[in-house]
Amino acid sequence: MSRRHLAVPITVIAMLSAAFPALASPATGDQNRDRGVPPLEDVRVATTEVASGLERPTAITALDDGSERLLIVEKPGRIREFHPETGLATEPVLDITDRVNDGANERGLLAITPAPDFASSQHVYLAYTRASDNAVTLSRFDLGSGAGEVLLAQEHARFSNHNGGDLAFGSDGYLYWSLGDGGGAGDPFDAAQDLGTLLGKMVRIDVSRACGGQPYCVPEDNPFVGTQGARAEIWAYGLRNPWRFSFDSADGSLWIGDVGQTSWEEVNHIGAGTGGTNFGWSCMEGNEVFNQGRCDPNADYTAPVLTYPTGTAGNCTVIGGYVYRGEQFADLVEGTYVSTDYCSGTARAVRENADGSHTSAEIGTFPQRVSTFGTDQAGELYLATDRSGQLHRVSFEGGSSGCDAEAWNASTAYAPGDVVSHDGRRWESTWYSTGSEPGAPGSWATWRDAGAC
């Protein structure tokens, strides 16, 4: 995949806002016909509530053990289990409330991912705000025994917001962890650009081994290994509050929903194995300069693939999602990244085109206050709502594509010149032929279109 960069010499900083108003191209059908899916503007989302009674859910993950179970994280420090046939279990499968500080809106138990060998090890990895000192903390727990081990912690005591943070294993087998910039308005300590701290970063470590007295190892190809003053665990930087991120299970690329300050929410996308990426905060917010004093004329900032304005149309906070790789709706949204906004509930979709550019569109509305997305083992999409504590299964529908067909006067349902609309999928209809329409006189004929238009 190609990447678009923003080099920011001081002499042109003031021109960036006008030069790059948006990097995600408007949705058009032409670039998607070869994918076998309809244009984004012809897709609509729908949700079905499948469980309720959750207390401020923050993360959803599937267990790759054939059980069809989902684990759902609750902010106070509990992990609940959901099964599509039996529903939400009453008792948590793990309770670490005694280790978690959830006393502020963005503190608490925030993320979970199972170990690649979960079926045999029963290990899960959790990210949370530690009760003893408010450090953002990464730990490994045995889901069977409840025993836990701290792997890595980053001091985060000054402000209560921007704790992070999500967890996922990449296709390379390493664990990735996103951390916020430490909070406070405007990144007051310039943490996101400071390679000496993990704040405002994407961390990448090898948790299958221990090295140098630490319960993890740093992969040798991490971009800042050997860089003086830099934390070797850093994979990417320049992030403000990367609340949710995910990997495309097909190509291993990384998608990040990075929450904006006051002007722009953004989604970032980089290819698998692309280390050292600088997403620009706090020089850049979206595609605009936020703080000129933080801009390095020699820096190579990677621009987002989707931005939308904060504080307009009810928007407030991007909630990053997933690239759809399930089967049930593959004819509509295969390869499509789906996200939303916490306040407005607007569903936004992004596709990468063959030339590396990105196409985006609004595809309907989710419930308000979605806090997280997740997928089941089959790749089907779920979401959870924060204050109402609901779990929803996401579905997709084809809408009108503007591809109309004139209907024959072949039944009492239509008159000459009537128009029927196309829903974006291949369609068929059965007509009674009088001889002036296709088919032998007095017979029924089935017509099918050649494909989604």
The residue with tokens 């987002």 is 304
Residue 434's domain comprises: 403-453
Pick the more confident residue, 157 or 334.
Answer: 334
Query: Is a pLDDT exceeding 70 seen at residue 8?
Result: no
Q: Tell me, what's the pLDDT at 164?
A: 83
- Judgement on whether residues 168 and 107 belong to the same structural domain of the protein: yes
Q: Which pLDDT score is estimated for 24?
A: 38
**Residue for token digits 């897709």?**
43
Of 379, 398, 417, the last residue of a domain is 398
Mean pLDDT, rounded, for 105-121: 98
Q: What's the confidence (pLDDT) of residue 6? A: 66
Q: What are phi and psi of 321, to 5 degrees?
A: -125, -135
Q: Do 389 and 418 fall within a single domain?
A: no
Residues 390 and 413 in one domain: no
Residues 290-308 as b or e (16 or more Cβ within 10 Å = b): beeebbeeebebbbbbbbb
Q: Are residues 374 and 430 in the same domain?
A: no
Asked if 215 and 135 sit in the same domain, the reply is yes
Lowest-confidence pick of 54-58, 307-311, 314-318, 404-408:
404-408
382 shares its domain with 419: no
Cα dihedral sign, 144-147-152-154: positive
CATH number at residue 174: 2.120.10.30
Q: Are strands 70-74 and 57-62 parallel, antiparallel or unpaired?
A: antiparallel
Taking alpha carbons only, the member of 142, 131, 138, 70 closest to residue 104 is 131
Question: For residue 339, is pLDDT > 60?
Answer: yes
Amino acid at 316: C
SS3 call for 9: coil
Nearest to 36 by CA among 334, 380, 402: 334
What residue type is 134 in one-letter code? N
User: For residue 17, which of 26, 8, 25 has the smallest C-alpha distance?
Assistant: 8
Residues 407 and 372 in one domain: no
Of 164, 100, 111, 184, which is closest to residue 134 (Cα–Cα)? 100
How many alpha carbons lie under 13 Å from residue 49 in its C-beta half-sphere? 10
Please give the mean pLDDT across all residues of the chain. 88
pTM of the model: 0.85
- Higher model confidence: residue 176 or residue 421? 176
Residue 400 DSSP code: -
- Work out the burial of residue 191: count CB atoms within 10 Å of its CB; fewer than 13 is exposed, 13-18 middle, 19 or more buried: buried
86 & 19 share domain: yes
Query: What is the average pLDDT across 140-166?
Result: 96
The whole-number pLDDT of residue 427 equals: 45
Query: Would you state the pLDDT for residue 405?
Result: 42
Whether residues 424 and 347 share a domain: the answer is: no
Residues 6+ positions from 188 with CB-CB distance below 8 Å: none
- With a cut of 90, say whether residue 417 has pLDDT above it: no
CA distances from 326 to 189, 272, 449 (A): 42, 20, 25
Rounded to 10 degrees, the C-alpha dihedral 199/201/202/206 comes to -60
CA distances from 167 to 113, 174, 195, 206 (A): 6, 11, 20, 13
Q: How far apart are CA 181 and CA 179, in angstroms?
A: 7
> What average pLDDT does range 117-142 have in this prediction?
98
387 and 417 inside one domain? no
Number of domains in the chain: 2
- Kindly state whether residues 342 and 440 are assigned to the same domain: no
Provide mean pLDDT across the span 80-108. 98
Claim to verify: residue 105 and residue 230 sit in the same structural domain = yes
